[in-house]
Structure 1
């Protein structure tokens, strides 16, 4: 009976199959997209599969990112014998299909469900440029988004049963999300906030459940952070203070929302007001659901998560420096944002009589179909470009056809003397191309690291011209202090050596 119920969900199964196929189309030319983060995950996964540790290519523990995603990739590698880079297209396709299927399953269980609504939203999810970008790269967001949807399902089951077992399951999924991405604290926050606001339990039992949830959900993150401190004396790696104020981060988030709405950069003037509308609207919806005792629905769980996650990203970017807020960072809130922005329409339409219902439903359906079509046009252009060029990153043609990259692949570090340290402005690329371990040039902000680098008596420097990271020491900076000997010159970079013994007295 249970199996037949899932099979009858044929529309969602079909959408999942389409999603899997789209990932195949995007990755068939050059494979899964590889960024510097991807190489960190991959090297730690290989280490875990081979030795049970999560050391990265530079023989240091992975601390900038939590450990579960590399462990997940390592387990897949260990079971299948297929390297994460090679397995990426299929693995990501399966996870994207699972995200689509769970989304359909959740929409089918909305407090006011509508098959037409599901048919309109599923294409929006399948064709989402934000999700397709994530699932065509080897990124931890792929697993994190899936865990978020599983969390929604588990939390809803807890609110239906209020059993200790269902509570521990919710807390464990939240714990896994935290060691998949540090932003998983928003999953803990979502659950904790809803448990606190829920008025269904007696006070004593409610306090006990909140304490149990807090301990279990934070357990894996605490263990991960303790290991980080013991191994590197750092919680989450070196972090610099932010250089973007709250207003700028609000604007950047709004530009992402504009892109998701398929608007153009010419319409970025509405970016900040769009985010304020989101904050005000979702906060109001949460308060309304609290007053009406509708906190435990899937729709409200999604609203709460989108609000908590969105505010967390904006505020954390205001206090800590990382890449500018972009679609990848906000992608986990895409599906909850869509649900929170549209699901309330179902109830309004269903309360109308037949003719007014048609009068309202047809224009709304037309708007959603137009939105899906505009998303399709964007996806088609991207797919067309990537079928000729590859996913932007270390597997695209800029790298595949580069003479410098070809040399590194063929040399595999043979030109370097054993025991001499190697630095690079793209140490992940050095490992990905040649399998050689190297160290990233120090950030200018960390003066002690800069001095330590300049105190090094003998080192090699692999410099890539097409990698620009303004936070790092540049080639010109180093040349002002050190006399570098050029060993190999290419149009897109070069290999240098510094030896204090060669300096004139």
Structure 2
């Protein structure tokens, strides 16, 4: 009997709806989590909609991030709400579509094994790593969806290496690059697989690789050129890394341990586990590539996970940014999950029926233990966020802050013409709509020297921030005289004069 296509996908539709609903649960108290990056995105989205430019909350053009995510968020204004207000629905929809795409991919992995598909979908839905990402207003939400869409379009190209699918893959890759600079990994993944696709003559492979690379990178190149012309900086101010490769590998390993639901006692083994996983992925990729089996979803996912892992480890060793975290590695979670487990249906299919039942039971028990840890982590997080809010500028530390309440009510207390500085300029903007300047990073000596030349200004200081990379109050007191105007438990407003 013919089964309508809708019913063939009913299980992944249910999974997608569940994903949307769980994001609404986690953000029900006070909306999506808001970090400094989130405010950068949201303010740029507002500028795009209202003024047609890329000016951020601090009055400078957006250069530290590419343009597509803020442009995407600006669509929320068409529905009468800003990006922060629309955040729960936006993230819920992005998570739902990501889950549906994953289910669509899993439906086409051969041999088909429904329990494997359901297990992977449940892991994605309950993954603490992904739930963290999709409860914040972060560009990784869109980036992860685009990566899975790229996997789909590239698979179509590898099946039918025609210009249509090549260009569609390049367009999706370009959007990845315009969402996060790490989207270059998508270009590298596509270029590698196109180049080793033996279904085409070598000359045509070269042509297709160059076409894909040019079309994929061109929009990002334009974005970077505009950045350079408007600010003199291609991708913002970048400093050399202060962490070694071995340190970054350790941080990478702790994230992998967290993803596996392991406790802190496993963290010393994290680097070795990470190396093992990367080597296993490389071995599997090389094995399939040698056999000429590259037109499947598994090898695309494995290739992306390998290249992204190496890219992050290398770039973190060369360039300075935040410590490697689950957020930074999250784009490879789903590809690594599929890349590391694709052999399960094949092995189960080759086992004879009586033994297959027992092997399946053992596999299910192992997976159940794995998911049990996930559920415990999710329940603990939900319990906290149901009463407190997603950590960040929308949680109760900020919602119920007397200092924040004061700042909201007294936005006109500052003398005209005097600059306002803060150790959290994004917080000043988010809560008051005022534009403040960030006190300089202590490592940018030219900025520190320029700041010390200020003769008269206001300083809004949030005690809870305590960012060691910024100059502190003790540093400021060495150069300036500070007078407390208003003091609260969690912050102070100073009027400052040069000595």
TM range (shorter): over 0.9
Find the counterpart in structure 2 of residue 179 from structure 1: 178
Find the counterpart in structure 2 of residue 351 from structure 1: 350
Q: CA shift at 1:113, angstroms?
A: 2.2
Task: Determine if contact 2:389/2:396 at 8 Å carries over to the other structure.
Answer: yes
Q: CA shift at 1:10, angstroms?
A: 0.9
Task: Determine if contact 1:111/1:297 at 8 Å carries over to the other structure.
Answer: no
Question: What CA distance in whole angstroms lies between the structure 1 residues aligned with 2:418 and 2:235?
Answer: 28
Q: CA shift at 1:3, angstroms?
A: 12
Unaligned runs of 5+ in 1: none
TM-score, scaled relative to structure 2: 0.98
Find the counterpart in structure 2 of residue 459 from structure 1: 457
The SS at the match of 2:179 is coil
Q: CA shift at 1:59, angstroms?
A: 1.1
Question: What CA distance in whole angstroms lies between the structure 1 residues aligned with 2:451 and 2:30?
Answer: 36
Question: What CA distance in whole angstroms lies between the structure 1 residues aligned with 2:286 and 2:8?
Answer: 36
The SS at the match of 1:483 is strand
Superimposed CA distance per residue, residues 137-168 of structure 1 (whole angstroms, 9 cap, x where no aligned partner) = 00000000000000000000111111111101
After TM superposition, list the pairs within 5 Å mapping 1:399-414 onto structure 2. 399-411=398-410, 413-414=411-412
Q: CA shift at 1:6, angstroms?
A: 4.1
Find the counterpart in structure 2 of residue 96 from structure 1: 95
Question: What CA distance in whole angstroms lies between the structure 1 residues aligned with 2:26 and 2:417?
Answer: 41
Question: What CA distance in whole angstroms lies between the structure 1 residues aligned with 2:395 and 2:50?
Answer: 28
Q: How many corresponding residue pairs? A: 498
Task: Determine if contact 2:480/2:497 at 8 Å carries over to the other structure.
Answer: no
Find the counterpart in structure 1 of residue 147 from structure 2: 148
Question: What CA distance in whole angstroms lies between the structure 2 residues aligned with 1:321 and 1:389?
Answer: 32
Task: Determine if contact 2:45/2:71 at 8 Å carries over to the other structure.
Answer: yes
Find the counterpart in structure 2 of residue 443 from structure 1: 441
Task: Determine if contact 2:423/2:439 at 8 Å carries over to the other structure.
Answer: yes
Q: CA shift at 1:75, angstroms?
A: 2.1
Question: What CA distance in whole angstroms lies between the structure 2 residues aligned with 1:278 and 1:40?
Answer: 35
The SS at the match of 1:179 is helix
The SS at the match of 2:458 is strand
The SS at the match of 1:220 is helix
Unaligned runs of 5+ in 2: none
Question: What CA distance in whole angstroms lies between the structure 2 residues aligned with 1:111 and 1:205?
Answer: 28
Find the counterpart in structure 2 of residue 65 from structure 1: 65
The SS at the match of 1:495 is strand
Q: CA shift at 1:111, angstroms?
A: 3.1
Q: CA shift at 1:480, angstroms?
A: 1.2
Task: Determine if contact 2:84/2:137 at 8 Å carries over to the other structure.
Answer: yes
Task: Determine if contact 1:443/1:450 at 8 Å carries over to the other structure.
Answer: yes
Find the counterpart in structure 1 of residue 282 from structure 2: 283
Question: What CA distance in whole angstroms lies between the structure 2 residues aligned with 1:120 and 1:369?
Answer: 9
Question: What CA distance in whole angstroms lies between the structure 2 residues aligned with 1:6 and 1:38?
Answer: 37
RMSD: 1.3
Find the counterpart in structure 1 of residue 168 from structure 2: 169
Find the counterpart in structure 2 of residue 116 from structure 1: 115
After TM superposition, list the pairs within 5 Å mapping 1:306-385 onto structure 2. 306-385=305-384
Q: CA shift at 1:65, angstroms?
A: 0.8
Match status 1:389 vs 2:388: yes
Find the counterpart in structure 1 of residue 27 from structure 2: 27
